[in-house]
Amino acid sequence: MTETFTLVHMSDVHLGPLEGVPLRHLNTKRALGYLNWQRGRRFVHLRSVADRIAADALAQTPDHIAVTGDLANLGLPGEYASALAWLEALGDPAQVSVVPGNHDIYTGRLGGASCLETWAPFMRGNEGPAQDGPVRFPYVRTLGPVALIGLNSAVPTPPFVAAGRLGAAQIADVATSLDRLGRAGYIRVVLIHHPPLQGQAPPRRALQDAAAFADVLDRHGAELVLHGHNHQQMLAWRRHSERGIPVLGAASASAGQAHKEEPLARYHVLRIRRADGAVHIDCEIRGFAEASGAVVRLARQDLVMPAA
């Protein structure tokens, strides 16, 4: 098969507006998060930047778009509605897949619809009978040669904690799905918000069951893992049956200014094809080289595991 599947990967747009938090939605975590947003993050994550990234992504004529979480900030219904409008501008739910981040499932529910309800059409599998009711993870979307496996690593957390967890049931289910999809010959692409490997984030921001997830990758295989959360460009590797599994992290797709170690907005265009019995993934990083500039190609590389 020489057909190329073009997958756009973007993450962590952190869309406002945050024009105050309704009192009935307020708790300690949201109050602290709101202060953090007002003091700094609102100058970093800009809807106008996210829109320019989205326009450039659509100009690449992708076969599909994957968004790896943190579309919101404080998990507020108004943010979910704003993010839904942005998702709908990206494409039909059949062409856009989303997994939630810790800022989407932010704290215990205090009223209003959850993101899992508001964004449900973007988080449903497309195998078997049409689904309704609550979304389930992992979901599987088969798209030509590619199968996307969407995971939910977001759990409500106390103030100052941004950790994630998959849980035993989801880890068991993803192992089964990876086996089945691998046997069927699909190119398996896993979507998860948190960096999924041990040591990729400090403990209070990390995936708590990273060791169990890495074990699943090692034993069952995958062709690509995509994540967000750290707001940085990241590439790590796992190995399954002598083949490398790239674990690729995207920076924020809405950063209008560099912030600490976080670069200006960028995203990935992944051109995936199977040739000579192997999967080849060309990763183009597109984004802003300067804050007031255009969206350009920043870098590209073949995702080939470096020699040990």
Residues that bind Fe ion (CB under 5 A): 12, 70, 101-102, 229
Do 68 and 11 form a contact (C-beta atoms < 8 A)? yes
Q: How far is the CB of 140 from Fe ion (least distance, A)?
A: 23
Place of tokens 């998060």: 33
Number of other CB atoms surrounding residue 222 within 10 Å: 24
Cβ-based nearer residue to Fe ion, 63 or 70? 70
Please name the residues in contact with 66: beta carbons below 8 A apart, sequence gap of 6 or more: 7, 8, 9, 10, 96, 97, 98, 148, 189, 191, 226
**Taking the complex as a whole, how short is the minimal distance between the CB of residue 142 and Fe ion, in angstroms?**
27
Instruction: Name every residue whose Cβ is closer than 8 Å to that of residue 206 and which is 6 or more positions away in sequence.
Output: 163, 164, 194, 195, 198, 200
Min dist CB 181 to Fe ion, Å, is 26
C-beta closer to Fe ion: residue 101 or 263: 101
Give 70 or 173: the residue with its C-beta nearer to Fe ion: 70
Q: Which is nearer to Fe ion, 177 or 230 (CB)?
A: 230
For the CB of residue 105, give the shortest distance to Fe ion in the complex, in Å. 10
CB atoms within 10 A of CB 176: 12
To the nearest whole angstrom, how small is the minimum distance from the Cβ of residue 90 to Fe ion? 18
Least CB distance from residue 299 to Fe ion, whole Å? 22
- Spatial CA neighbour of 237 closest among 258, 257, 217, 216: 217
In the complex, minimum distance from the CB of residue 37 to Fe ion, in angstroms, rounded to a whole number: 12
Q: Looking at beta carbons only, is 102 or 157 nearer to Fe ion?
A: 102
Nearer to Fe ion, 12 or 223 (CB): 12
Query: Could you tell me if residue 95 is left (phi over 0), alpha (psi between -120 and 50 degrees) or otherwise beta?
Result: alpha
Name 11's Cβ contacts closer than 8 Å, sequence gap at least 6: 67, 68, 69, 70, 101, 193, 227, 228, 229, 249, 250, 251, 252, 253, 267
Rank residues 144 and 156 by Cβ distance to Fe ion and give the closer one. Answer: 156
> Strand 139-143 to strand 5-10: parallel, antiparallel, or no bridges (unpaired)?
unpaired
Please state the φ and ψ torsions of residue 135, each to the nearest 5 degrees.
-70, 150
How large is the angle between the packed helices 168-183 and 210-220, nearest 10 degrees? 20
- Nearest residue to Fe ion, by Cβ distance, number only: 70
CB of 196 to Fe ion, least distance (A): 13
Going through 100-145 in order, the beta strands assigned E by DSSP cover: 139-143
Cα–Cα distance for residue pair 154/116, rounded to 1 Å? 11
Residue 12 or 56 having the CB closest to Fe ion: 12
